[in-house]
Structure 1
Amino acid sequence: MATPDLLRSIHNNRIDKLILESVYNNNLKSIYDKVIEKSGTKAVETKFDPYKHLKYYADEKEKEKFHSTRRLSMEDLRRSHPDQITEIGVTDPFPLFTDEAISLMRYSYRSTSGLDAGLRGYVKNMDTINCPFIHSAWNHPLTIDLISKMADVELEIIYDYETAVVNISMKSEEQAAEERIKFAREQSLSGVSNGEDIPAVVGWHYDSPPLVCVLMLSDTTNMIGGETCLRKGLREGETTEEVIPVPGPSRGNACVLQGRFIEHIAPKPLGSSERMTMVTSFRPKNPLTVETSVLSTVKPEINWGSRYSDYYAEWIDYRSEIIKKRLDHLNSTIRARRADHKFDKEAVMDNLKEISKYLSKTYEEMEVTDEEWEQIIQNNNRK
C-alpha cells in the first residue's frame, strides 16, 4: 500500500507530467507570433469557425480526400469483439483542421518538466472554459459529425477531461540514439521483431475509452516514421501477433482508432525535433449502446497527469448520466407496454441486470489493485 505522504500528494491533485516553460517558449511561441503577424489579431480572441478551420469545409479538395480515406475494419485487423462500438478499427489519416486552426491550438495551452509529456484536463474545469478555441473546435457539431462519419457511428466526447489531451515528445539530437530508433523500427516492421523493441512516445497499450481521434499538431515534413503501429490478432496456429504500421498523419490531419480493443504504440520519429499529438476520446452518443470504458491507463493514482478530484468527479458524472438515460428509457418502455396491459418481466430483469453491471463497473474501475500500487510506489521512488 502507498505511504501516507504519497496518498496525500495524489489526493491533493498531484500532477507530474508537465513540460518546462522554456520548452514552450522555444517550440510554441514562434508559432503564435506567426499567427499574429498573418492575421493581425490575438490568437486567444479568435473564435472557431467550422467553415474556416475545418479542412472539409474550407477546401473542396480536402473534402474529396476525406471521402476517399481508407478504413480498416475490426475484422481486417482480426480484432472483432462483441462489445465493439463500430465495425471500423482504424482509419488512415484524414483532413480535419486547417493550418491556422492548428497554430491556434498550439498556442492555446501552456505547459510546465521533461521532454516527453502529457497534458490533460486543461481545456475546461467544471464550468470554466480555459481554452475557448480548442473547446469549440472539438465540441462543434460539424467537427463531431466528421469524426462520426469516419468512425461509422454517431459519437460524442466522453467527458471534458478527455478533450484534446496532448502527448509531446521532443527528441534528443544525439545521432547514436537516432540510429538505435531507426534500427529498432526497421526490425519491428520487417517482421523480425514482435514490436517490444520500438522506442515510443507512448508504449504498447489499449486505450481506456471506446474510441479516440488522434490529431497531428507537428510539422511532419522532415519526420521519418511517426506512424502508429498496431498488433493484429492471431490466426489459427500463429504464436506471434503481426505488427503493422498505419500511416502517420501530417499536420492538421487525424486518425480514428477503436483503441479499446486494439493494442497499439506511438513510435518516436526520426528527423524531427518534436512529435506532438492531440487526442480526444469519444463514446457512442446512443446511451443504450454497449459502452466499455475503463480507467486502466488514466486513473489519477497511475497517470499523474490527471488531477485526482477533477478526474474522478467527471468519471462519476458521465457514468451517472448514462445510467439515468438507461433508466429513463426502461421506464418509458414499461409505460408504453402498460397502456396495452403488457409487462415483459424477463426483459425488464435483464435490462436492470445490465444497468446494475454498468453501475458496479463504475466503482470497480476506481479501485487500485495491489499490483498497481506496487508499480505506483516503484515509479514514485524513481523520481
Structure 2
Amino acid sequence: MVPHPQLVDSIAKGNVHQCLPESAWATDLAAKYEAAKKITGVESTANVVFDPAKHLQFYADGPISKHKFNNTRRLTMEELGLTHKHQISPIGVSDPFPLFTDEAIALMRQEILQKDLFLKYSRYCYSSTSGLDSVMRGYVKNDDVIDAPFTYQAWKHPKTMELVSKMAGVELEVIMDYEIAHVNVSMKDPAHAAEERIVHAQAASKGDSNGNDIPAVVGWHHDSYPFVCVLMLSDTTEMIGGETSLRMGPSGSGQVAIVPGPQAGYAAVLQGRLIEHIAPSPIGISERITMVTSYKAKDCMKKDTSVLSTVKPEVNYGSIYNSFYSQWVDYRVKTLKDRLDVINSGCRDKDGNFQKQETIELLKETAEYLQSTWKEMEVSPSEWEKIEQAIRPKSG
C-alpha cells in the first residue's frame, strides 16, 4: 500500500501526531516532579555529578548490596533451552539486582518529569491500550545536546557499565546514545489501583486467581537489540504481578520461565533479541515508570543481531525520525569500520600466510551487516497497513 502523505510528513517531523497534551503532564506528573525535586534538594540537575560511591548501590550500600548483586540468580541460554549460534553471552536473563540508589532514582525522575523535556519527547506508546501510556526516547542526548545530564552520566559511567556487563556475562557497550535510558510511563487513577488490589485479594481468598487475568503491556516479542537492562523507577510495594515471562526452548521443556518484578532502583538484564518474552501489566499501583538501556557486545567481531522492528520511527512513536536514523547509520558505519580494520590486520597468520577462506567468510558477514543496515530502515507494505490502522486522534 501507499502510505498517506500527511502521515509520512508527520512521522518525518517527529511523530507530532502522537505528542501528549500539556494536561497529561499537569494532571498526572507535575506533583511527582515536585516530589522528586524535594528529595534531591536541587532545582536543576545540570551541576550534579554522578558518583558511584553515592549513586550505585554496589558501592554506596557496602557488603549487603555487594552480596545481593553477587548472588543474583542468572539463567543461562542453555538452561532456557535457547542456546543459539548468534548469542553473545551464555547468560540469558538475570533476576532483578541492586543498581542505583534512592538518590540516583530521584534525580532521574526529576529529569524525565520536568515539564519542557517531558512534553518535547514524550509520545503515546504504540502499544498503549488505555490511560496515560507513553514513551520517551532520545531525550538524554539529542545530537550534541545533553538534556538529561545526570541520567547520561549514570548509564555511561565505567562503573555502571562494569556492573551491567558482569551481570550479562559479556563486556557490553551502549548501542547508541538514542538508546540510553528510554522511559516507559504508565499511569492509572489511584482509586482504580486501590480497587484492583481489593478485587485481587478477594479472588485470591477464593483460590480462583492464578495470575492469568493480569494483562500484558506488550504481547510476546523479541527485542530489537542484543541486550537490554531494565530499571524500575517506581515504588512497587503494592504492585501485584509485574513478573516477566520468557518462552523457553524445546530443550528447556518448552515451558515459561518467570523473572520477578523489580523494586525501585533494581534492574534486570535480558538477551532479549534471542529470547521471546512478554512485558507485564501489573495491577494495584497508580504509576509504573521503567527505564531501558540497550546494548551490543563491545567486541566488534561478536555478532550484532540488531533490527529495527520495534524501534523504527514509523512503528515506535517515541523514535524521532531525523535523530534516530542518523544515529542508527552512524553506529552501524562505525561498527563496519572497526570490523574491517580487524579483518585487514588479521588476514595473515603469525607466519605471514594469507588466510584466504577465513578472510572471505568475515568479509561476507560484513557485507551482510551492511545490507541489513539499510534493509532494516525500509517499511514494508504490511507495516504501513498496521501503522495506518493504529493512528487515532489524540486530544487533551
If the length of structure 2 is used for normalisation, what is the TM-score?
A: 0.86
Equivalent residue, structure 1, for 2:354: 343
Matched position secondary structure for 2:318: coil
Q: Map 1:46-65 to 2 at 5 A.
A: 46-60=48-62, 61-65=64-68
Aligned partner of 1:320 among 330, 333, 343 = 333
Distance 1:188 1:292, change over 3 A: farther
Q: Is the 8 A contact 2:74 2:92 kept in 1?
A: yes
Aligned partner of 2:262 among 211, 235, 249 = 249
Q: Map 1:168-187 to 2 at 5 A.
A: 168-172=185-189, 173-174=191-192, 178=196
Shift of 1:279: 0.2
Equivalent residue, structure 2, for 1:5: 6
| Greater alpha carbon shift after TM alignment, 74-83 vs 321-330 | 74-83
Q: Is the 8 A contact 2:40 2:103 kept in 1?
A: no
Q: Is the 8 A contact 1:211 1:256 kept in 2?
A: yes
Aligned partner of 1:301 among 314, 327, 341 = 314
Aligned partner of 1:106 among 101, 109, 114 = 109
Aligned partner of 2:237 among 208, 212, 221 = 221
Shift of 1:233: 2.0
Output the CA distance in 2 between the equivalents of 1:179 and 1:39.
31
Output the CA distance in 1 between the equivalents of 2:286 and 2:226.
31
Matched position secondary structure for 1:142: helix
The percentage of counterpart residues that share the same residue type is 51
Shift of 1:70: 0.3
Equivalent residue, structure 2, for 1:143: 160
Q: Map 1:222-237 to 2 at 5 A.
A: 222-234=238-250
Shift of 1:35: 5.1
Shift of 1:206: 0.8
Distance 1:101 1:291, change over 3 A: same
Q: What's the RMSD between the two structures over aligned residues?
A: 2.8
Matched position secondary structure for 1:111: helix
Output the CA distance in 2 between the equivalents of 1:198 and 1:40.
38
Shift of 1:243: 3.1
Aligned residue pairs: how many?
Answer: 373
Output the CA distance in 2 between the equivalents of 1:163 and 1:83.
23
| Greater alpha carbon shift after TM alignment, 21-30 vs 256-265 | 21-30
Report Cα offsets for 1:74-120 as digits up to 9, x if no partner.
12222221111111111111000000100110110242365001110
Which consecutive residues of structure 2, in runs of 5 or more, have no partner in the other structure?
125-130
| Greater alpha carbon shift after TM alignment, 2-11 vs 104-113 | 104-113
Which consecutive residues of structure 1, in runs of 5 or more, have no partner in the other structure?
none
Output the CA distance in 1 between the equivalents of 2:249 and 2:208.
16
Matched position secondary structure for 1:9: helix
Equivalent residue, structure 2, for 1:203: 219
Equivalent residue, structure 1, for 2:43: 42
Q: Give the counterpart letter for 1:269 in structure 2.
A: P
Q: Is the 8 A contact 1:207 1:260 kept in 2?
A: yes
Output the CA distance in 2 between the equivalents of 1:73 and 1:59.
28
Q: Is residue 354 from structure 1 mapped to residue 365 from structure 2 by the alignment?
A: yes
Aligned partner of 2:298 among 265, 279, 285 = 285
Output the CA distance in 1 between the equivalents of 2:223 and 2:208.
22
If the length of structure 1 is used for normalisation, what is the TM-score?
A: 0.89
Output the CA distance in 2 between the equivalents of 1:306 and 1:225.
29
Matched position secondary structure for 1:276: strand
Output the CA distance in 2 between the equivalents of 1:48 and 1:202.
33
| Greater alpha carbon shift after TM alignment, 29-38 vs 248-257 | 29-38
Equivalent residue, structure 2, for 1:332: 345
